[in-house]
Each structure stands twice: as C-alpha cells, then as structure tokens.
Structure 1
Amino acid sequence: MAQLYYKYGTMNSGKSFEIIKVAHNYEEQGKPVLIYSPAVSARGSVDRVGSRVGFEREAIPVGEDTDLYESVKSRVESSGRIYCVLIDEAQFLKKHHIIELTRVVDELNIPVMAFGLKNDFQNHLFEGSYNLLVQADKIEEIKTICWYCDRKATMVIRFRDGKPVNSGEQIQIGGNEDYKPVCRKCYNRAFSETETH
C-alpha cells in the first residue's frame, strides 16, 4: 500500500543525495521513478536535483500552478507504471501541491517521498513543510551535526556579509556561504552575541 513520506533535515543533511540514491536503487531494478523539484529551489538549473557532494539528476520543474497529480497521472498513462515519486526541496511546495501528492498516493497507489527543510532561518515552518507534517503517513528526520559543535543540527542560521541575520524574506536561495546548519544552543548563542556587540 502506497504512502506519503516526509523526510526532513537541515541544510547539509544529505536530502538531495538521498533522492539520487533512492532513484538509483529503483532504476537499477528496472523500476522507473519520477523526480520533481520546485523551480524556486534551483542550485543551478531548474530541471536538475543536485547534491553538495557533486551528484545530480534530471528533475521535472514544479511551478506554482503545476498540478502534481495530473502530471504524474499523465506520465503513467503515456509511459506505464511509475514505482515512486521523489520530491526535492519540498518545503517550497504550496498547500495544493501537497494535497495533489496525497491523491497520487491514495488514487494512483504510487508512493511519494518528499524531502525538504522543516523550518526556515527564523524557525517558522515553510508552507510545504507544514502541510507535509499534517498530511504525511510517515515522517522521518535526516540528521546532521551542528556547524559549530557536535550536537545535532535542528536549525539554520542565515548570514549576510558574514554576520547572522534573523530578518528578511523567507526564501533566499544560497549555499554554505549564506546558511549554516546549527543546534538550538549555537543558534541562540549566535544572536545573543550579535546583540551584545
């Protein structure tokens, strides 16, 4: 029976690498998958999933008006069975996208594995994350360590000109120079030290 999985982690936890690995495992057995990625998430090209360790794969871009259920259904009708749908950067999806993914699971009986951040740099849930936490059948944390200590990273600090910031637009695409995965203690320390200097 198909299920909707939400696998979340901070930056640098290997979410995109995990998608590439899962896709490879299915395809090595001759089982086709579909990979989707929100157009806003592109590290390079809107039609690729790329990991920080250098691997990348083709992906179908998801725009704000994309109907994921219809997209998957049309590909099944034209190409045959799809064994799994993989979503990169799922935090950037809209509520309607998540509802469409539940229909892929419930009506097309195709498992969906969505990977993404849970909270933003201000520790607010993204729209996609919130709706996945509500709708997912299974939720799993992909762990990584804090940039500054050996605790588990659960938050992200955004940097501007080398200094931590906690204001600005929720979505700003960036890499290690703009964001660092951190534990709660180091997150709070970063802003208490900023306030005292």
Structure 2
Amino acid sequence: MATLTYFAGTMDSGKSTLALQMNHNHSERGRRGVIFTRSDRAGEGVVSSRLGLRHQAVEVTDATNFWHEVIERRTRGGVVDYLVCDEAQFYSEEQVDQLARLVDELEVDVFAFGITTDFRTRLFPGSARLVELADRVEVLQVQALCWCGRRATHNARTLDGAMVTVGEQVVVGDTAELETGVVGYEVLCRRHHMRRMTASSARAVSPSPDPLPLELETCPVPPPRYGDRS
C-alpha cells in the first residue's frame, strides 16, 4: 500500500541528498515519479544537495495543486508511481492534504523531506500538517553538529553573522541580501540557540579561534525566552 512518509531534520542532515537517492533507487526499479521542490537555495526548479548533487524538479508555488498535477499527467498517458517532495516545510497545509489524498485514493507513494521548525523554533505550517497526517515520520540519522560539537537541533538565521529572531518566516539563506545585511543560516544546539551564540559570536568572546564550548559561559546578546514572540 502507498504511504505518506515525512523525513525530517535540521539543515545539514542530508535531506536533499536522501531525496535524490530515494528517487534514484525507485527509478532504477522501473518506477516513475516526479520530483517537486520549493525555494531551493540553488534556484527555481532544482533540488540541490550540499554535497554538490543536483536534479531538475518541478517548482512548487502557492498555486500548485498536487492532485491536479498527477491527474493531468495520468490523463496524458503518463505513469506516476511516487512523488519526491523536497523543502516540504514551505508547502501549505492544503497542499499537504492533497498529498495525503493522492496516497489514499490513487496509491501514489509520497516521500516528503523538510525542516520541522523555523529560526524562531516555531513549526512551519507544512511541517506541522505533515506530522499530523503522515503514515510515518522519520528523523534523519545523520546528525548535524553545532559549532561546539554537540548535536544541532535548531536552525538559526544570521544577519552578517549575528543571530536574529525576528523577520519573515521564509527567507532563502546564502542567497538573500537585505538592506541591513546578508542573510545566512547556521545549525545550533538548543543551549547555544537560546543564548544566540553562533560560531562567529563565540569566536568574538574567546581568545582562542576554536573556543571550547563547555568553558564558554558568556554571551554577547541576552538570551531570549522561547515564549516571547516579539
């Protein structure tokens, strides 16, 4: 039976790499699928891995209807056995509902890959809906690491290297440049996310270029409270 599987992880945990590997494995067995993505850092209509792998994909927009996408392909005589959906955190709740309907009514396997929470530690709408509907949620076993060496569990947005906790939920990192600086992203453990301590800010308060995390007890910015939405 077809399933809706959500593969969740932080940045640097290999989501896009696994998505491309999943597509390769299924296509090698004669199955035919479609790869979707949204707002990949490499540009429109492409799934890119930090390891350098790339594959063409269908760009998801607010107007994308996955049910119609599959029905249209099948009406033209195409075969759709599965969907690979990268950057699924950016999908709308309605689009996730469409994916679940494809699984239940058309027996199309859906493999969704995404980040669960944003830079403010809030759930993305698409990720929240996937957790609610998925037949299976798998946390990727490749552990992204904080600069301190601990397992990274939180995604941080930086502006010219300094962590920020306000702003639009979706801003593509490594490519976006705002009036106030260059936007980037960094994975942190919970301890250093709460302290707003990125790798660059840690170096600023340590005499060593590679500070030992367990010895650092200071932070240049007062730690935020998670309950504060401002």
Question: Please, what TM-score do these two structures have when normalized by structure 2?
Answer: 0.79
In structure 1, the residue corresponding to 2:12 is in which secondary structure?
coil
Q: Between Structure 1 and Structure 2, how many residues are aligned?
A: 195
The residue that corresponds to 1:178 in the other structure is 184
Question: Any conservation in 2 of the 1:164–1:194 contact (CA below 8 Å)?
Answer: no
Task: Please provide the CA RMSD for this pair.
Answer: 1.9
Alignment of 1:1-197 (within 5 A): 1-38=1-38, 41-142=39-140, 143-175=142-174, 178-190=184-196, 193-196=219-222
Please give the per-residue CA displacement for 1:16-41, whole angstroms capped at 9, x wherever unaligned. 11111111111122211110112xx1
In structure 1, the residue corresponding to 2:129 is in which secondary structure?
helix
Quick check: 183-192 or 133-142, which moved more? 183-192
Please give the per-residue CA displacement for 1:175-197, whole angstroms capped at 9, x wherever unaligned. 39711112111212335713259
Question: Any conservation in 1 of the 2:40–2:87 contact (CA below 8 Å)?
Answer: no
Q: 1:189 to 1:196 in 2, by over 3 A?
A: closer
Question: Any conservation in 2 of the 1:117–1:129 contact (CA below 8 Å)?
Answer: yes
Select the structure of larger CA radius of gyration: 2
Please give the per-residue CA displacement for 1:84-111, whole angstroms capped at 9, x wherever unaligned. 1110100000011001001110011011
Offset, 1:79 = 4.0
TM superposition outliers: structure 1 runs of 4+ over 6 Å: none
Q: Which runs of 5+ in 1 are unaligned?
A: none
Higher helix share: 1
Quick check: 12-21 or 168-177, which moved more? 168-177
How much identity, in percent, do the aligned residues show? 35
Question: Any conservation in 2 of the 1:73–1:108 contact (CA below 8 Å)?
Answer: no
Question: Please, what TM-score do these two structures have when normalized by structure 1?
Answer: 0.92
Question: Any conservation in 2 of the 1:148–1:186 contact (CA below 8 Å)?
Answer: no
Q: Which runs of 5+ in 2 are unaligned?
A: 176-182, 198-217, 224-230
Letter in 1 for 2:219: E
Question: Any conservation in 2 of the 1:91–1:127 contact (CA below 8 Å)?
Answer: yes
Please give the per-residue CA displacement for 1:130-153, whole angstroms capped at 9, x wherever unaligned. 111111110011142323133222
Offset, 1:46 = 1.2
